Structures are given as C-alpha cells and as structure tokens.
Amino acid sequence: MKDIAIVLYPDMLMLDMAGPVEVFSIANRYLGEDQRYRISTLGTTGTSVRASNGITLQADLPLSDAPTAWDLLLVPGGPGAYNERHETAVPWLREAARASRHHGSICTGAFVLGEAGLLDHRHVTTHWHYISRLKQRFPRADIETDKIFVKDDELLTSGGVTAGIDLALSVVSEDHGRQIALDVAKVLLVVMQRQGGQAQFSPLVAALAKEDSPIARVQNYVLEHLEEPFSVERLAGLAALSPRHFARLFSREANTTPMDFVQRARVDRARQLLESSDLPLKTVAFRSGFGSTRHMRLSFSERLGLTPDQYRRQFT
C-alpha cells in the first residue's frame, strides 16, 4: 500500500487535484490490495476548502492534524497558489518534504513549494504561462521551460493542469510497470506519452520590447513582413545601428537573438495558419517566411517536437 497526500487550499484548481487522483484510483482496479494507493486530502484551512471554480471540497484531514511522512505528497495549482501566501502550510511542507519518499506539484502548485524553499537549485517546471513569473519569484530554481513534467530525484513537478495526469501515469508506471499505466491511460482516453512539450501550447514570441525603442520597431516590422528574407545585417539597418551593437541591444531587450526571434515568429505564424486554415503546407511555409516545407518541418521539430502535419492533426 502506498500513501498519497494531496494538499488542498482555497482557490486551488480542482482539475489539478482530480486528474492525478483519478489516475491512482483507476490504477487500484488493476492492483492487488497490498499494492494499491491510499489517497488522502489535507486542507490547509481546515477540512472545508473552496476551489477556484466555486465548488467546496471536503478534505480528509486538516493539515494541522496530518502526518508528514508519505510515499507521495502533491500540491495542486490554481490562483491561490501564486496570489496568496501560505505561512501556515510552509513549515509543514518543509517537514513533510524531508519525511516523504517523493513530493511535488501540479501546475502552479510549484509556487507553494517555492515558498517553502523546496525549488532552490532543483530542476522544476510549471504551466508555460507562469514560467517567467516563477523565475522572477524563485531565481534559484532551475526551471525547465518545455517539459510536460520533470523528475529531480524525490521532487516531481509538472506543467499545466492535465500535465498532472501525465505525471501520475509516470508514477504508476515506475511503481507497477508500463502495462498497468497503459491500462489506466486507456480508461482515461489519454496517451501514455505526449508528442512534444509545453511549447506546442504556448506562443514562442513573448511580449515585445518597449514601443519607443528601435528594437520594438524592428520586431514589429518582422512580424508584419515575415515572408521577406532577414539577416542580422538587414535588421540592424532597419534599426539604424551597427550589426554588433544591434545584436547586443536586441539580446538585452528581447532576451533572445535577432535570428532566433525571426524563427520563433515564423513558427508562430505557421501555427496560426495550420490551426485556422486548410492551406497546403507549401503555402503555409511560404506565407510564414520559411521558403520551403523542409525548412518549416525542421523548425517545427526542433522547437515543438512535432512536424507541421502532426501539429495540424492535434490542434484542428
């Protein structure tokens, strides 16, 4: 019997909790009694906890009465994870992390672990939309930007929402073998291992530099003329700067190189066309500035872990 605890707090995302719980619960159907998972929910504010969708959940135990040693301790995400402080839960989490065999988070639950100092110098991930925020708040964490989930010894973290199911399936696979995990995945109508990472769901071009800067003007020009050929020299000319100074200034303001920005923008344009039209791949490649389907395919595989064909089938 393996004991699993899920920490519940106000304004948590219920699916972050329910997804992994269902994985372990369904796995129990295929396991002998002494191999099953025993799941407990622990409330940080008592036993009654209101989730972000307005539904009130009844925890098995208040955190103050809960044991600290578990086979797996998980903290789900939700607005309450990053908008609130968890002073009463942090000391308990620190002790429980030391006492438990594994501990981790789903989605933005990583913010709660971070408050407890459990992300410092560890490889972790969270929902793609909150990667930058997590980096700013916990700069000593080594954050993986594209992984669906990350295992760093006893610490397990996952990307957004349904990635908790992926993480839980991997735990079941390690505990009881791939076949049991595959049986559970079939019941849930999910795949055992997704193609690609979080990048396939997130835009590759982040917010632009300040509007009054020459870098922003170049970025906007690129986005409006992606079908044109670009080089660092040409982009520097648009900014009226030397190539060396332009490249240095671009990297500082945009946190990427000029040509990486161009490639990211082209992938994003191609994704938009693949999602919203049935244009042939050759046309998509031309309108996105790739010049050939081969170049587009290489860029997709490198950045998204999918081919354009696979992306279109998955997102349309």
pLDDT bracket for residue 313 (50, 70, 90): confident
CB 157 within 8 A of CB 131: no
For 142-184, the pLDDT digits (tens) are 998 768 899 999 999 998 878 899 999 999 999 999 899 989 9
The pLDDT value recorded for residue 197 is: 61
CB 118 within 8 A of CB 97: yes
Mean pLDDT, rounded, for 48-55: 96
**What gap in Å lies between CA 279 and CA 137, rounded to an integer?**
42
The pLDDT value recorded for residue 177 is: 93
SS (H, E, C) the chain: CEEEEEEECCCCCHHHHHHHHHHHHHHHHHCCHHHCEEEEEEECCCCEEECCCCCEEECCEEHHHCCCCCCEEEECCCHHHHHCCCCCHHHHHHHHHHHCCEEEECHHHHHHHHHCCCCCCCEECCCHHHHHHHHHHCCCCEECCCCCEEEECCEEEECCCCHHHHHHHHHHHHHHCHHHHHHHHHHHCCCCCCCCCHHHCCCCCCCCCCCCCHHHHHHHHHHHCCCCCCCHHHHHHHCCCCHHHHHHHHHHHHCCCHHHHHHHHHHHHHHHHHHHCCCCHHHHHHHCCCCCHHHHHHHHHHHHCCCHHHHHHHHC
**Dihedral Cα 298, 303, 308, 311, nearest 10 deg:** 160
For 243-274, the pLDDT digits (tens) are 999 999 998 888 889 999 999 899 989 988 99
pLDDT bracket for residue 275 (50, 70, 90): confident
- Helices 308-315 and 293-304 sit at what angle, rounded to 10 degrees? 60
The pLDDT value recorded for residue 308 is: 92
What residues does each domain of the chain span?
A: 2-198, 214-315
Q: Is 2-198 assigned to CATH 3.40.190.290? A: no
Give buried/exposed letters for 146-173 (b at 16+ CB in 10 A, else e): bbbbbbbeebbbbbbbbbbbbbbbbbbb
Q: Which CATH class is domain 214-315?
A: mainly alpha
pLDDT bracket for residue 205 (50, 70, 90): low
**Residue 209, pLDDT above cutoff 80:** no
CB 77 within 8 A of CB 126: yes
**Residue 13, pLDDT above cutoff 70:** yes
CB 102 within 8 A of CB 73: yes
Mean pLDDT, rounded, for 133-139: 94
The pLDDT value recorded for residue 301 is: 87
**Residue 195, pLDDT above cutoff 70:** no
For 213-241, the pLDDT digits (tens) are 888 889 989 988 999 999 999 999 999 99
**Residue 200, pLDDT above cutoff 60:** no
Mean pLDDT, rounded, for 279-286: 94
For 56-112, the pLDDT digits (tens) are 999 999 999 999 999 999 999 999 999 998 988 999 999 999 999 999 999 999 999
